[in-house]
A and B are shown apart, each in its own frame.
Chain A
Amino acid sequence: MKATAPMRPLLELVDIHKYYKRLRAVDGVSMTIGQGSCFGLLGPNGVGKTTLIEIIEDIIDPTGGTILYKGARRAAQFRQEVGIMFQQTALLSFLSVAETLETFSRLYDLTESIDHLIQLCHLEEVKAQLNDKISGGQKQRLLLALALLNRPELVFLDEPSTGLDPQARRNLWDIIKTVKSQGRTIVLTTHYMEEAEKLCDDIAIMDKGNVIARGAPMALIETHCRRATLSVPKAQFPEKPGDLQGFINERGDRIQIRTDNVNAVVSKLLSMGVDMRGVNLQTPSLEDVFLKLTGRSLRE
């Protein structure tokens, strides 16, 4: 499918495909990624997210298709202008955090101040420690610092928070939000819908090597899953509710009402004297969008 982004495109992908013998890892993806956006590639493991992102990063070659960066084919300058945080990377052994940043900074023409990056990524306490002595969260922040070392216009983050505990994940999100606020373009892959919802303003959902939906998170939800669910304690639910403009379902000691018009249902329940303190409202998420589009969960 062909999808477009509202902003001026920084990246244009035309019919990208990557085949491994019989496996179609990426199967004809065409899309644009707008400058200054935080673009999220969402999907469960094994749908081709990493393959696609590594093709865009120029790490692996596609079987076919064209990629344009700033309207032209990627040249040597591309590597000077992009920052990459891979899903799995070991670091050079026996080097400290600061020495690792120093080593990588010598590989670029234009670099950020190492002290600034250490501060931005909260690495002050571990800057003198060897790479193999730091925690998982600290390692991810170091990898993010490495990706930001060359003041990149375009930052690729492949599953940046996988394997982190909730606190470390939120710390990483805060740093990514800071980077985003600096106007840089971010391409992020994730299978955490919360991560995509919090960080991305443009999302493509991938399944079986292709993009099956594209848009802003709320727009995707609005388009594909408008229906919300109200859960009312069975004891409070009126015996004759009349037309509630929704589908009513009994689940244990609660009644669930799935509806496109939450306001109307709430008004009706209030008019029938239902105590709203016991009522829960569940709004649809990207997980529901994915479930609806593919019939599978994001965590599968």
Chain B
Amino acid sequence: MRFKRMWAIFHARNREFFRDRAAFGWNFLFPFLIILGFGVIFKGDYQSQFKVGLFPIFPSGSVHQSIDLLPESFVAFKAISLVGFETRAQGMDKLKQHKIDLLVETGTQPIRYWVSDSSPSGAIVERLLKEALVPPDSAVRFEKKDIQGRQIRYIDWLFPGVLGMNMMFSALYGVGWVVVRYRKNGVLKRLKATPLTAFEYLTAQLISRIFLLMFTLVIVWVGCDWILGFRVYGSLMNLFLVFLAGSTCMTSLGLVIASRGTSEEFTNGVLNFISWPMMFLSEVWFSIEGAPGWLQAAAKIFPLTHLLKAARQVMNEGEGLFAVMPEIAILCAMTLAFLLAGATMFSWNK
């Protein structure tokens, strides 16, 4: 093993990354824009999650002039936004397309409404409407209590997810797809003709990608934190170690994909097959708490699941390194397995 040879490939790969301005910019811009976008969307305390259609509302009229017959507590609820339609047919079209959750005809007694049986949001809005019609005196009394201790903003919960997702795409495509392209166009064959060994080549690729991922992570983190001011309850160093373990694991998975094949189209399919379920099941955007047990178990096969669990424990819950050690151990074990598989299967030209 010669470090000079590994350094040559490491250096060349980094040069490619930094000089490919489109890919370079996108690697920073993509997570930055997503986080910034979500930061703006979830800046307020509430969001309009449910849409209720009203008809007939004429062009000159306002939605709010036609809501007298609806319970005040229902229309005043911040999670509901009202949308007006001139005709019932227009409203029904939107309801069928799930663009609104409930459709109400104004000025009727009793209130006439339509809701799609297949829409979970529709069922919730229907329930809200019915409960709003019950006189306050006959309703069961509740007492609202505030959450004690830390309240985690959605953006603080989402931030590690977006960073992890960016890391996943960059690791899988930046290694898996690129190496397959090199195999197809003969670059790997040219390198095989030199004294460079497969181990040296793969190690250089691995280290280069980890370096680039961590570099991107730090830049995106600093940029987003400067604008949105994230709350990190744990140690930044621990968080860095968690992301380092995650990036190593996902780059190793990229090497498995890169180990064989000369078809970029096929590799793209394989990468999509792996990355999309990983993105949805690893809780990048939403929690899968309450999902069927088998689905939660299946999610554990993805390295991103363990990376995000550990990162959120450190960032949102202030846990120390010891608490996240099981996740780091799983990531290390996966890394080892991926590296062994990648090195065993690797071919310069097949």
Q: CB-defined interface of A54-98 with B at 8 Å, one 1/0 digit per residue?
A: 000101100000000000000010011010101011111111000
Per-position contact with A for B181-194: 1 when CB-CB < 8 Å, else 0?
01001110111111
Q: In terms of DSSP, what is the predominant structure of the interface of chain A?
A: loop
Does B196 touch A at the CB level, under 8 Å?
Answer: yes
Report yes or no: A107 in contact with B190, Cβ–Cβ below 8 A. no
Tell me how many residues of A have a C-beta within 8 Å of chain B: 26
Once A76-B195, A94-B15 are accepted as A-B contacts, the answer to whether A106 and B187 lie under 8 Å apart by CB is no
A99 within 8 A of B: yes
B195 contacts A99, CB within 8 Å? no
Do the beta carbons of B12 and A92 come within 8 Å of each other?
yes
A88 touches B192 (CB 8 A): no
A146 to B283 CA separation, bound complex (whole angstroms)? 48
> B146 to chain A: closest CB distance in Å?
55
Question: What residues on B are CB-neighbors of A94 within 8 Å?
Answer: 15-16, 19-20
Q: Are B187 and A90 in contact (CB under 8 A)?
A: yes
Chain A residues contacting B193 (CB-CB under 8 Å) are 57, 59, 79, 82, 84, 86
Q: Is the Cβ of A80 less than 8 Å from the Cβ of B349?
A: no
Closest beta carbon of chain A to B177's beta carbon, Å: 13
Partner among A59, A82, A95 whose Cβ is within 8 Å of the Cβ of B189: A59
Closest chain-A Cβ to B15's Cβ sits at a distance in Å of 6
Contacts of B11 in A (CB 8 A): 103
**Would you call B211 an interface residue if the criterion is a C-beta within 8 Å of the partner chain's C-beta atoms?**
no
Complex Cα spacing A150 to B5, Å? 14
List chain B residues, Cβ under 8 A from A84.
190, 193
Q: Which of A60, A82, A90, A107 has the most CB of B within 10 A?
A: A107
Q: Find chain A residues with CB under 8 A from B182 CB.
A: 90
User: In the complex the two chains form, what is the Cα distance from A80 to B196 in whole Å?
Assistant: 10
* A137–B11 alpha-carbon span in the complex (Å): 27
Residue of B nearest to A130 (CB): B19
Q: Is the CB of A95 within 8 A of B194?
A: no
Q: How far is the CA of A46 from the CA of B195 in the complex (A)?
A: 29
In B4-29, the 8 Å CB interface with A consists of 4-5, 7-9, 11-12, 15-16, 19-20
Whether A79 lies near B194 (C-beta < 8 A) is yes
Q: Measured between alpha carbons, how far is A95 from B16 in the docked complex, in Å? A: 7
Alpha-carbon separation in the docked complex, A107 to B2 (Å): 9
- Asked whether any CB of chain B lies closer than 8 Å to the CB of A19, the reply is no
* With A60-B349, A94-B19, A103-B11 as contacts: A89 and B192 at CB distance below 8 Å: no
Cross-chain pair count, CB within 8 angstroms: 65
Interface size class, chain B = 20 to 34
Q: Which residues of B contact A86 (CB under 8 A)?
A: 186, 189-190, 193
Q: Which residue of B lies closest to A147 (CB)?
A: B193
Contacts of A108 in B (CB 8 A): 194-195
Q: Are B195 and A92 in contact, with the CB atoms below 8 A?
A: no
* A92–B194 touching, CB < 8 Å: no
B18 to chain A, nearest CB (A): 8
* B185 touching A106, Cβ below 8 Å: no
Contact present for A107 and B12 (CB under 8 Å): no
Chain A residue numbers with a CB within 8 Å of B196 are 107
Determine if A80 and B4 form an interchain contact, defined as CB atoms under 8 angstroms apart. Answer: no
Q: Which of A90, A95, A150 has the most CB of B within 10 A?
A: A90
Within 8 A of A (CB), among B178-230: 182, 185-187, 189-196
- B200 (CB) vs chain A CBs: closest residue: A107
Report chain A residues within 8 Å CB of B19.
Answer: 94
A79 nearest in chain B by CB position: B195
Q: Check: A247 CB closer than 8 A to any chain B CB.
A: no
A109 to B20, CA, bound (A): 30
Taking CB atoms, residues of chain A closer than 8 Å to B12 are: 92, 95, 99, 103
Interface code A138-153, partner B: CB below 8 Å = 1, 0 otherwise? 0000000010001000
A232 to B11 CA separation, bound complex (whole angstroms): 67
**Contact at A107–B186, with CB atoms within 8 Å?**
no
From A105, which residue of chain B is reached at the shortest CB distance?
A: B8
Distance (whole angstroms) from the CB of A286 to the closest CB of chain B = 29
What is the minimal beta-carbon distance from A133 to any residue of chain B, in angstroms?
Answer: 12
Complex interface: chain A residues within 8 A of B187 (CB) = 89-92
Tell me the nearest residue of chain A to B196, going by C-beta. Answer: A107
Q: Which residue of A lies closest to B21 (CB)?
A: A94
Question: In the complex, how many angstroms separate the beta carbon of A256 from the nearest chain B beta carbon?
Answer: 47
Contact B15 A107 (CB under 8 A): no
Chain B contacts for A107, CB-based, 8 A: 5, 8, 191, 194-196
Chain A residues whose CB sits within 8 angstroms of the CB of B194 once the complex forms: 79, 104, 107-108, 150
User: In the complex the two chains form, what is the Cα distance from A79 to B193 in whole Å?
Assistant: 6
A136 CA to B122 CA in the complex, in Å? 64
**A80 → B minimal CB distance (Å):** 6
- Smallest CB gap from B182: residue in A: A90
B195–A95 CB distance below 8 A: no
What is the distance, in angstroms, from B12's C-beta to the closest C-beta of chain A? 5
Minimum Cβ distance to chain A for residue B134 (Å)? 68
Contact A106 B8 (CB under 8 A): yes
Inter-chain contact A90/B4, CB cutoff 8 Å: no
Closest-CB distance, A51 to chain B (whole angstroms): 13
Whether A93 touches B20, Cβ cut-off 8 Å, given contacts A60-B349, A86-B186, is yes
A67: shortest Cβ distance to chain B, in Å?
15
22 contacts between A and B (CB under 8 A): A59-B189, A59-B192, A80-B195, A89-B186, A89-B190, A90-B187, A91-B187, A92-B12, A92-B16, A93-B16, A94-B19, A95-B15, A99-B12, A99-B15, A103-B8, A103-B9, A103-B11, A104-B194, A106-B5, A107-B5, A107-B194, A150-B194
* 17 other A-B residue contacts (CB within 8 Å) besides A59-B192, A92-B187, A95-B16: A59-B193, A59-B349, A76-B195, A79-B195, A84-B190, A86-B189, A89-B186, A90-B185, A91-B190, A92-B12, A94-B19, A94-B20, A95-B12, A103-B9, A104-B8, A106-B5, A107-B195
- Complex A-B, nearest 10 residue pairs according to Cβ-Cβ distance, in ascending order: A106-B8, A90-B185, A94-B19, A84-B193, A107-B194, A89-B186, A79-B195, A94-B16, A103-B12, A89-B190
Q: Which residues of B contact A (CB under 8 A)?
A: 4-5, 7-9, 11-12, 15-16, 19-20, 182, 185-187, 189-196, 349
